[in-house]
Amino acid sequence: MKELDWVKGAVIYQVFPDRFARSASAEIAGKFESWDSPETAHGFKGGNLKGAEEKLGHLASLGVTAVYFNPVFASAANHRYHTYDYYRVDPVLGGDAALDSFIKAAHRRGIRVILDGVFNHASRGFFQFNHLLENGEASPYRRWFHPRGWPLKAYGLGRNEKPNYACWWNLPALPKFNTKNPEVRRFILGVAEYWLKKGIDGWRLDVPFEIDDDAFWREFRRVCKRANPRCYIVGEIWGEARRWLAGDQFDAVMNYQLSAACISYFGGGKLKLTHSYDGRRLEPGDQKQFLADIATLLGRYKYSTTLVQMNMLSSHDTDRMLNTYGGDAGRVKLAAVFSYLFPGAVNLYYGEELGMEGALNAGTRDAMPWGRRSAWNTDLLALYRRLGALRRGNAVIKDGKFGFLGEYCDGDVLAFRRFLPGRQLICFMNNSDRPAAVAVRPAHGRGRPLLASGAKAKKNGGRLLLELRPRGFAVLG
């Protein structure tokens, strides 16, 4: 997977375009909600791609090497998963020219660009579906979707009435494509190829498991890799994903299994979630369970695949980290440090570096508080910047093996390392409410401290004595 060397060790920054940054210089007309008002289901804050481009310096300071945009194509929804034109960037974001400008500016900084591909469903405004609404059974596009009767009932449904066509989660605004239709397949594959040739570096695929067709995804991969052999194809699959990661479909999946393990262990008794993970309720877990969860995860795929997984900390579909970890920034830090040192790319959702708060549908998609510096957690920001710097160009993080150091793992102290022949990074962290002391053997204590918080180190004979405050950690290398 040499073509994906850029993914290994990457810091991917996730941008929800409507809420990240708004530039007045984009001169986009329209009336928008107040930037700092709470998120609403249908309101627009007016974030745009020029605003995102103007914040590339902030991203560079975090060591970001790729940006993943939630959907940018023309849509009548603030989240833009209701796509009505796949060949046009939403004019509210600045249109095609704004995306082209962002790609060029990002590439000049060595930052790649990944777009969200919503290919399972479209919107009621999508031309072919609108044609179906207007013409019913006479429409030549009737095989593009899954009608179950005529006329289609796309609006004004009763409280318990379901649409008479297949749609995502029975939401009438999201009609499901009939991907068995060769015309639809050609359309989707054409979209994927078009934007890769326009300069993007990868696709994040929305709910790809709902297109239950391996042959389709194999063809999707062939088309994408022919357009750009270095493109990254990552699927939104929250659970076990061997079916899609055999080398003939996706390069990676969004590794919510890693974040689930971190939430259970580092969140512990303060764990607080408003939603499930892959259909299961997460519960506090001890160190033994965490070690087992990580072992299972590492044994699931080829290591070359593990090295390019998109390791999630949080996303637009989860509560924010500070909420998830019970408002305890120390626990957030441990989860972040572990995730940043774990094999694979890491996905940082916008605003987590500032300690933004919010639950799913109640703050997770609030606007970035650029103008409210008093709301920034500068301690967290400093940590994410140092973690980003530690990852950048680090061969051990990019290609190194991973292993727990069981001799130090005592239920409170967690120790692990990343290593290559002759080189290693070792991390010790105290995931408890009481101080801990670790006598580190010479083989593990030779390195200098690269990153630490709540930790003191001193020599004690031939050993390094490491004193860790509650939720303290130290990275040696």
Radius of gyration over every alpha carbon of the chain, rounded to an integer in angstroms = 23
Contacts of residue 410, Cβ cutoff 8 Å, sequence gap at least 6: none
What is d(CA 246, CA 228) in angstroms, rounded to the nearest whole number? 20
Number of H helices, E strands in the chain: 15, 16
Contacts of residue 106, Cβ cutoff 8 Å, sequence gap at least 6: 53, 56, 67, 112, 113
Is the dihedral angle over the CA atoms 247, 248, 251, 252 positive or is it negative? Answer: negative
Count of C-beta atoms within a 10 Å radius of residue 361: 12
Is residue 362 packed enough to be buried (19+ CB in 10 Å), middle (13-18) or exposed (0-12)?
Answer: middle
What is d(CA 242, CA 252) in angstroms, rounded to the nearest whole number? 10
Place of tokens 């708060």: 357
Q: Are 116 and 71 in contact (CB under 8 A)?
A: yes
What is d(CA 113, CA 209) in angstroms, rounded to the nearest whole number? 23
Token digits of residue 276: 């499930």
The catalytically annotated residue of 236, 251, 353, 366 is 236
The catalytically annotated residue of 206, 293, 353, 357 is 206
Q: Are 144 and 175 in contact (CB under 8 A)?
A: no
Question: 367-387: b or e for each residue (b if 16 or more CB lie within 10 Å)?
Answer: bbbbeeeeebbeebbebbebb
What is d(CA 329, CA 473) in angstroms, rounded to the nearest whole number? 13
Cα separation values, 24 from 136, 162, 255, 278, 309, Å? 43, 42, 36, 40, 36
3-state secondary structure 168-219: HHHCCCCEECCCCCHHHHHHHHHHHHHHHHCCCCEEEECCHHHCCCHHHHHH
Q: What is the DSSP string of 255-319?
A: EHHHHHHHIIIIIGGG---SS-BTTB------HHHHHHHHHHHHTTS-HHHHTT-EEES--TTS-
Concerning whether 39 is annotated as a catalytic residue, the answer is: no
Q: Are 162 and 196 in contact (CB under 8 A)?
A: no
Concerning whether 137 is annotated as a catalytic residue, the answer is: no
Token digits of residue 333: 């830090």
Token digits of residue 339: 């995730």
Q: Which residues are catalytic?
A: 206, 236
